[in-house]
Structure 1
Amino acid sequence: MTITIAGSGLAELTCAWLLASRGHRVRLRPRPSYGPRPLLLGEDTLALMRALWGVASPADGHRLTHRHVRWAPGPPDPPLAHPAVVLDGALLCRRLLDRLCARHPDASRPGPEPAGPPHWTVTAEPPTGHPGEHWTAGRRHLLAGEAPLAPGQDDTTARLDRTDLAWLHLTPLGNGRALLQAMVPGPVARPAELLGRLLAASELAPRLLHPPETAVALPAAPRLHLLPATAPSTCTPGTLLVGAGAIRYDPLSGTGTAQALRTAILAAALIGSAAADTPPDLLCAYYAARLRTAFQEHLTTCARLYPQAFPDPSWQHELNACGWPGTPLTG
């Protein structure tokens, strides 16, 4: 069975690795890299990566030991032991791509194309014309920018704080730098300016030498594709969406990377079952149902956590959107 992997993100590469290791013919169509991307991986996610890829923890990441949280009004919780590694996600994917190509060189060779279309295409980006659409649970955006830590600050503890308008997360990156993120309840015209104001209103301000000078605002509400899997036909391959193209978690959960890996595992299992003559339509329906269940559980968690922190009316739309969408997912 021939599978095209259209992309080079963590979910796509992991699916390619699993399929190639099971004897499937994999053809890679990697995407270009868009520069460094800080990625925070907890111990559970690192253990999952080790189990899938057979590699040890990244040696060049910045290691964190604790997490300090102030979610509701009042004093923060005591620091919790929370081992994690901060690394460049783009660099990690390049190294995994190298490992994949070294172990399975046929995946990267142009070679003759098989007769007829490939059986499946796996991607994190829905192709043009892919049926279905995303259900997005809200309008919230994540602001992100880097800044230097103030002298003498602990660079082994990640910190979560809140204001009436946003939650903020400070992640030390090593070498005296930190990533500051803030989740706000809607689009933002001037992200660096708002991020600076939020920092000043939080207890994180003394930990940075100054606010980030530049920042980006990214859509970050939970999102689910309503048709993440389509079966092959006589003319076209089947399509399996993985990673954030299939399901995106709220960054507050801290489990987005692990969820992306799980979609890769499930997609590889689906293709293996299809190769063993299980009807692809049934497998695609099962894939969609599994993602819907995970999405519902995630929204339930958001609906429980967010009202504890944000009584502000500006968050009401987001709090309402945390409820299970119901009808759009049952049609």
Structure 2
Amino acid sequence: MPTASATVEIAGSGLAELTCAWLLLARGHRVRLRSPEPAAGPRPLLLNELTLDLLHSLWGCEPLVDCHRLTHRQVCWGSGDDAIGQRLPQPAAVVDGARLTEHLLGRLAARHPDVLSETPGPPRWTVTAAGSSGHWTAGRRHLLAGEALLAPGADEATARLVCTELAWLHLTPLGGGRALLQAMIPGPAARPTELLERLLAGSALAPALRHAPQTAVAIPAAPRLHRTPAVPGRILVGAGAIRYDPLSGTGTAQALRTAVLAAASLHAMATGAPQGPLCTYYTSRLRTAFHAHLATCARLYPQAFASPAWQHEMDACRRRAPLLRGDGDR
């Protein structure tokens, strides 16, 4: 138990916010949830084995509900004679992110029913994933996403990644003959459904689906970091603080790590450590992780795309590095 406790408001019900609340309560802090209702609508998440282990270690239970298990990942990165293809054993699970957070919220409320009650007095800290303006964004790429039916006999235990001249595409079996098709492109898309259909038709994934997704959305997906994820009175976690390129496959794990670091920082402040240096430390840890992620993107994307359309994205990853060392904004 800490020698002093903080009153912390958790503004949101995402995976990072709920995990931060769970960890703070375990250390004896007063926590209240604002807007505890999980977001509506399915959100398929592909969780690799390391992320599953991290979830289990943090929550002390098997956190998955109605998941679809995968056993392999097949990757063909690049095009033409230079393409590198591999099929690797890679256990993973596909879970509805909305149902997962609903399950964890129920576990949290059952163990600590007071989190849903009003705590007297203003909170000392607010934890949220709802980042305000003030981000560094490395590029302008978008992710197209839509669901479709798998072709008869298609492998439902293997996730597949392939490249075309303009995009990389990822096919994730969801179970029950359904699949999520995603395509990363180097900019916005005016007609995402039509573009996703064309990209699928020109890829090696086309035979795996009965047809292209009937509807698709385009989501901004370039790596992004909040300039000041921690200031006295507020800590940003999850995608509000840092967002990785979906290619990394570690977005959920990174969101959980921000929750762990935020909870540790808040606990240290509540027990007497100065706020300013800890906020600086939190920010520097996220900047270091973001810098390493951009370096990975800058190395991987040129291996797959010779198209001039992708040059902006590669340059954006390289240009952001000086900003993360504190050389100014430009």
Say whether the fold is shared (TM-score over 0.5): yes
Kept in 2: contact 1:229–1:284 (CA 8 A): yes
Distance change >3 Å, CA 64–CA 326, structure 1 → 2: closer
C-alpha offsets along residues 238-272 of structure 1, whole Å, 9 cap, x if unaligned? 10000000000000000000000000000000000
- Once residues 171 and 322 of structure 2 are traced to their aligned partners in structure 1, the CA distance between those partners, rounded to angstroms, is 38
Counterpart of 1:104 in structure 2 is 112
| Matched residue SS, 1:77 | strand
- Once residues 58 and 124 of structure 1 are traced to their aligned partners in structure 2, the CA distance between those partners, rounded to angstroms, is 22
Q: Which residues of structure 1 form unaligned runs of 5+?
A: 232-237
Mapping of 1:217-256 within 5 angstroms? 217-231=218-232, 238-256=233-251
How far residue 327 of structure 1 moved from its aligned partner, in angstroms, is 4.7
Q: 1:119 aligns with which of 117, 124, 131?
A: 124
Figure out how many residues of one structure are paired with residues of the other and give that number: 318
TM-score (norm 2): 0.94
Counterpart of 2:92 in structure 1 is 84
TM-score (norm 1): 0.94
Counterpart of 1:158 in structure 2 is 159
Kept in 2: contact 1:6–1:31 (CA 8 A): no
Give the aligned residue type for 1:286.
Y
Distance change >3 Å, CA 96–CA 59, structure 1 → 2: closer
How far residue 58 of structure 1 moved from its aligned partner, in angstroms, is 1.9
- Once residues 239 and 63 of structure 2 are traced to their aligned partners in structure 1, the CA distance between those partners, rounded to angstroms, is 23
- Once residues 210 and 183 of structure 2 are traced to their aligned partners in structure 1, the CA distance between those partners, rounded to angstroms, is 18
How far residue 34 of structure 1 moved from its aligned partner, in angstroms, is 2.7
Distance change >3 Å, CA 153–CA 211, structure 1 → 2: same
- After superposition, the CA RMSD in angstroms is 1.2
Distance change >3 Å, CA 152–CA 265, structure 1 → 2: same
Q: 2:23 aligns with which of 11, 14, 18?
A: 18
How far residue 77 of structure 1 moved from its aligned partner, in angstroms, is 2.0
Q: Which residues of structure 2 form unaligned runs of 5+?
A: 1-5
Counterpart of 2:285 in structure 1 is 290
1:37 maps onto 2:40 in alignment:
no
Mapping of 1:141-156 within 5 angstroms? 141-156=142-157
How far residue 326 of structure 1 moved from its aligned partner, in angstroms, is 4.2
- Once residues 84 and 139 of structure 1 are traced to their aligned partners in structure 2, the CA distance between those partners, rounded to angstroms, is 29
Counterpart of 1:234 in structure 2 is none
1:7 maps onto 2:12 in alignment:
yes
How far residue 32 of structure 1 moved from its aligned partner, in angstroms, is 4.8
Give the aligned residue type for 2:111.
R
- Once residues 40 and 57 of structure 1 are traced to their aligned partners in structure 2, the CA distance between those partners, rounded to angstroms, is 14
